[in-house]
């Protein structure tokens, strides 16, 4: 089983800013040619961007890969990078493909999750941030056009993230027993079944939480 000394990770991630302003960080990602700067759920992609920026001397990214599914990075064990709002009623995190996680645990003994937790603020009722984001992206995305066409409700976008802590969580076979599934029995538009993903309930983890970096 891999060595569980993660001090090198926390030392590097301490450099991360506490307040993430949506417009500022989106422009930062755009200016640095980060491919996901257009994404609506920018908080998760910005944390991934920060991990790749600050951990690039100890991590390899987008490996290991199992079939068509890759982890966000590898440092002693495979890792995924996620961000989650603390001021919400949901405490469940969609992690990664169930089969990929099971394969990685079999090979490495466990997988890691770097989880950024913070308080979010949302767009005003006039959706000024949403309009700004659509403008710099060059107009409405195909996803947005399709949503409008079917008359679906548009969620308020997050405009700020106040980082409270980064948790390092280890997932083992024992953890999977406590986890649920996401996308089980879901299908893609072409009828093919979607890959089932592990759904981690933060209220059920205990020994899995091995390190907390507070901001």
Q: To the nearest 10°, report the CA torsion of 85, 88, 92, 94.
A: -50
3-state secondary structure of 92: strand
Please tell me the distance from the alpha carbon of residue 60 to that of residue 208, in angstroms, as a whole number.
23
- Provide the 3-class DSSP secondary structure of residue 95: strand
User: Could you give the CA distance from residue 30 to residue 105 in angstroms, rounded to a whole number?
Assistant: 35
Strands 197-201 and 73-75, bridge-based pairing: unpaired
In order along its 215 residues, the chain shows pLDDT tens digits of 445 579 999 999 999 999 999 999 999 999 999 999 999 899 999 999 999 999 999 999 999 999 999 999 999 999 999 999 999 888 889 999 999 999 999 999 999 999 999 999 998 777 888 889 999 998 665 555 564 555 544 567 899 999 999 999 999 999 998 877 654 443 334 444 456 899 999 999 888 999 999 99
**What would the two tokens of residue 156 be?**
């308020």
Torsion of CA 120, 121, 122, 125, to 10 degrees: 160
H or E stretch at 93:
strand 92-97
pLDDT at res. 123: 82
Residues 6+ apart with CB under 8 A from 176: 101, 102, 105, 198
Q: What's the pLDDT score for residue 192?
A: 47
CA distance 165 to 16: 11
**pTM score, two decimals?**
0.85
Output the pLDDT for position 138.
85
Q: How many CB atoms lie within 10 A of CB 99?
A: 15
What is residue 146's predicted lDDT score, i.e. its pLDDT?
Answer: 62
**pLDDT at position 172:** 95
Rg (alpha carbons) of the chain, rounded to whole number: 18
pLDDT of 128 reads 87
Residues in the chain: 215
């Amino acid at each position: 089983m891999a060595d569980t000394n993660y001090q090198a990770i926390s030392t590097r991630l301490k450099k991360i800013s506490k307040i993430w302003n949506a417009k500022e960080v989106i422009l930062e990602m755009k200016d640095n040619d980060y491919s996901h700067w257009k994404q609506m759920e920018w908080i998760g992609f910005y944390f991934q961007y920060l991990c790749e920026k600050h951990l690039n001397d100890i991590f390899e990214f987008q490996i290991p890969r199992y079939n068509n599914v890759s982890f966000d990075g590898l440092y002693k064990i495979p890792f995924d990078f996620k961000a989650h709002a603390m001021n919400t009623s949901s405490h469940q995190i969609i992690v990664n493909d169930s089969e990929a996680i099971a394969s990685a645990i079999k090979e490495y003994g466990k997988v890691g999750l770097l989880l950024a937790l913070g308080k979010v603020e949302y767009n005003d009722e006039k959706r000024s941030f949403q309009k700004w984001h659509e403008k710099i992206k060059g107009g409405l995305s195909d996803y947005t056009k399709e949503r409008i066409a079917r008359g679906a409700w548009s969620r308020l976008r997050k405009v700020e993230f106040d980082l409270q802590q980064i948790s390092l969580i280890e997932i083992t076979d024992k953890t999977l027993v406590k986890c649920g599934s996401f996308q089980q029995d879901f299908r893609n538009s072409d009828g093919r079944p979607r890959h089932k993903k592990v759904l981690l309930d933060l209220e059920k983890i205990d020994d899995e939480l091995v390190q907390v970096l507070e901001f």
